[in-house]
Amino acid sequence: MLDFSVTFIITIINITVLFFILRAVLFKPVTKFMADRAERIQCSIDQAEEAKEKAHKLLAEYKEKIKDAEAEAREILITARENASRQSRQIVIEGIRDAENFAASMRLQIEKEQQAALIKFRMEAAALVIAASAKLTAKDFSGEDNRRYANMLFDEISGAFSPQKGNS
């Protein structure tokens, strides 16, 4: 049978005391250390999850900002094209207006030169008429009456040869 001796009982008591001592000295601090470590790890995991969520939110915000910036850039391009088109039309209109004004001023200048040439022609024709009349009548025409007669004669002649105003 089993023989329980004193050493056996002392060994059991030693093991029990050692168990309680080790439990108080080692087991509780190790358990506490492990719990603290598990808590720190969980805290780190939670912070990483929060950072990940924050990163996803920032990414979504940046994508939205990029989309808004692209839309704004398209609007700016459309506006710039419209402004350029409007300005080019305005420049063309101003060019046409300037050309029309230039043409009108040239027409006026030509009309003035025609009038001046016509007056010069009348003066020369009147002098020729007076000279021709003097030779024909062998009389010297000088005086205001003779000039008046020459101008009347020239008006009749120029009326017959002048272009009509409706044909120009």
Q: Computed over its alpha carbons, how large is the radius of gyration of the chain?
A: 61
Res 90 pLDDT > 80: yes
Tell me the two tokens of residue 95: 């060019």
Task: Give the whole-angstrom CA distance, residue 25 versus residue 10.
Answer: 22
Q: What is the pLDDT of residues 115-125, one digit of tens each?
A: 898 888 888 87
Of the pLDDT bands very low, low, confident and very high (cuts 50, 70, 90), residue 168 is: very low
pTM metric for this prediction: 0.41
Of the pLDDT bands very low, low, confident and very high (cuts 50, 70, 90), residue 65 is: very high
Q: Which long-range contacts link 124-133 to residues 24+ away (Cβ below 8 Å)?
A: 125/154, 125/157, 125/158, 126/150, 126/151, 126/154, 129/153, 129/154
* Average pLDDT, integer, range 159-165: 58
